[in-house]
Amino acid sequence: MGHPAFFLVCLAVLSCITSFAKVNAGISNRNTKSDDEDEARQQDLCDCYVVSGPDGGYFQHYQFWDFRNFSIPRRTSEQDQTPFEGQDEDNADDIQDRGGYISDGENDDSDDSDGDSGEDDDDYTNKNSPKTILLSQTPFAKDWIVQVWRREKRPVPMVNSERNIFITTDPQHPRNTNSTSTSTYLILRVTRFDNYSSTAEMESALRNIYHCSLRVRMRIISSGSLPSSSTQVTEEDKPCLDINKNYPPGACAGIFTYNPASKATNTDESDIEILTSDPPHRIHYANQPDYNPITDRPIPGASSVIDLPTPWTSWAVHRLDWFPGFSAWYSDGRLQDMKTYCVPSKPSLVVLNLWSDGGNWTGDLRKGESVLMGVEWIEMAYNLSTRKTSVDIPRVDRRSDDLDGADARGQGGCRNVCRVEDISH
C-alpha cells in the first residue's frame, strides 16, 4: 500500500475494463499477385498502403527488412571468435553498468559490452563454422537498435548482450546449393549461465509509430546445450542450429509494440508471445495490462491463448495489426484474435526479444541451455505521429507526409493505394 505505481496500474485497469467490448470481424481473401517486376514498379509508385482484414484505414509508410541471402563478409582472421564460440560472452560479473546501460567499452581498455576482451568484434566465422555477423555491424543497425541493458532482480538476473543478435548462414541450406530455401536468417538467442540469463532484445529506431501492421516470419530453434560460464567451449561443444532437438522450456519470445513512457501503468502495449514451456502450437496475444493487481487475477478479455495450425517450431508469418479502436492478430494470413480492450493510444516503438528470468511466466532454463529465435524478415506498414517521443529520425520510406491513415484520403495523400499482401517478398 502507498505505492503510486500500484494505484496508477489499478486506475489503468479500471479504465480499460470499462472500455472493453467484443468485436466480431472477418478477413478478406488475398488478391492474386502479378509478376515481380510489375509489383516492384507498383510499389515505387505507392502513395499509401492497405492490408487485408477489417478496414482500419490507410498507412502512409512501408518498410521491409529481409535477412535472407544476406552477404556475410569473411572475417579477416581465423583467430577471431564468433557468437558460437568463446567463453561466456557476457561475463556479467565484469560488465560495467552505467546509468542502466552496459558500457560499450569504447573508452575502456578492459572488457567490452559483451564481457570479453574486445578482440573478436569482427565476428566473422572461420571456414569450419557457420558464417555469422552481429546485427549491430550490418546496415540493419540504423533501423534496429540492439539493447545492452541489464536487470539485476527477479529470480534470475538478465543481461542483454549485443552478441545474442546476429545473422547466420542456414547450416541445412548453405549458399550455392540447389535448395530454394533461404541461406541466411537473423538469430536472437537466450542462454542460461550459472548466475544469470544472457538475453536478446532489439528495438525499432522509429519511436513514434502510431498504428501499424507488423509482420514477422519466424520460428523457434533449439541450439542444444551450451557449457556453463565456468567452462571453456571447445569445437565439439560448439552449438549448431539443429532443428531436430528438443526445445528447452523456460524461455519467452516476444513481438510487440510498446510506449516506454507508459511503463508505470503497464498500458500502451500489444503483445505476441511464445513460451517454450507450452505445446508448440500455442501462442499468447494480449493488450496490456492483462493482470488486475486488485483481484490478483488475469483481466477477462485482455489476453488470449490460441492454438495455431502451424507450430512455432516451423516458419510462419506472425502478424499484429494496431488500428484506432482495435487490435488484431494473425498467423499465416488467418485472423486468430481481435480485441478492443485497452488498445494502445500513444506513439510506440516495435520490440523483438527472447528472454528468461526464472519467474512464473517464462520458467527457468537449465544451466547451459539455449533457445534461438530465427527471423527471415520483418515487414511493417505504419503511420507516424507528429508528437515525437524522441528526436527526429531519418526515414527511408516512400513519403515524407506525417498523415495518419484516417486523414490520408481527405488530404489527397492516397492517389495510388497498394495492398501489402500483393507485395512480393
The pLDDT score that the predictor gives to residue 227 is 32
13: in domain: no
The reported pTM is 0.75
Asked whether the CA dihedral 356, 359, 364, 367 is positive or negative, the reply is positive
284: in domain: yes
Q: Is 202 exposed, middle or buried (0-12, 13-18, 19+ CB in 10 A)?
A: buried
The total number of structural domains that make up the chain: 1
Q: Which helix (H) or strand (E) holds 406?
A: helix 405-408
Q: What is the DSSP letter of 334?
A: E
280 neighbors 298 (Cβ within 8 angstroms)? no
Task: Report the CATH number at residue 297.
Answer: 2.60.120.200
Please list the residues that pair with 101 across neighbouring strands.
98, 149
One-character DSSP codes across 132-197: EEEGGGSGGGGTEEEP-BEE--SSS-EEE-GGGEEEEE-TTS-TTSS--S-SEEEEEEEEE-SSSE
361: in domain: yes
What 3-state DSSP class applies to 118?
A: coil
393: in domain: no
Q: Cα–Cα distances in Å, from 85 out to 63, 80, 152, 232?
A: 33, 9, 25, 9
Q: Which helix (H) or strand (E) holds 245?
A: none
410: in domain: no
Please list the residues that pair with 271 across neighbouring strands.
256, 286
Q: Cα–Cα distances in Å, from 136 out to 163, 166, 201?
A: 9, 8, 12
Q: Position 144: which residue type?
A: W
Domain that holds residue 179: 130-226+246-386
Q: What is the mean pLDDT of each run of 10 residues along the chain (425 residues)?
A: 53 54 36 46 79 91 96 65 51 36 30 38 44 95 98 94 94 54 87 97 98 98 49 37 69 97 87 98 97 90 97 97 97 97 96 97 96 98 75 35 45 80 89
Q: Please name the residue that has the C-alpha cell 485472423.
A: 335
Q: Which helix (H) or strand (E) holds 328?
A: strand 326-331
56: in domain: no
11: in domain: no
424: in domain: no
**Among candidate residues 316, 348, 345, the one with its CA nearest the CA of residue 332:** 316
Could you tell me if residue 372 is left (phi over 0), alpha (psi between -120 and 50 degrees) or otherwise beta? beta
Main-chain dihedrals φ then ψ at residue 84, nearest 5 degrees: -95, -5
What 3-state DSSP class applies to 55?
A: coil
The pLDDT score that the predictor gives to residue 194 is 95
**Among candidate residues 122, 55, 38, 49, the one with its CA nearest the CA of residue 85:** 122
Query: Within 13 A of 267's CA, how many CA atoms are on the CB side?
Result: 20
Q: Three cell numbers at 363?
A: 520458467
Q: Three cell numbers at 302?
A: 485482455
Q: What is the DSSP letter of 261?
A: G
Gap between the Cα atoms of 327 and 288, Å rounded:
12
76 neighbors 124 (Cβ within 8 angstroms)? yes
The pLDDT score that the predictor gives to residue 32 is 35
Q: Which helix (H) or strand (E) holds 102?
A: strand 101-102
Pairing of strands 369-384, 184-192: antiparallel
The pLDDT score that the predictor gives to residue 425 is 81
What 3-state DSSP class applies to 247?
A: coil
CA 333 to chain centre: 19
Q: Three cell numbers at 322?
A: 494496431
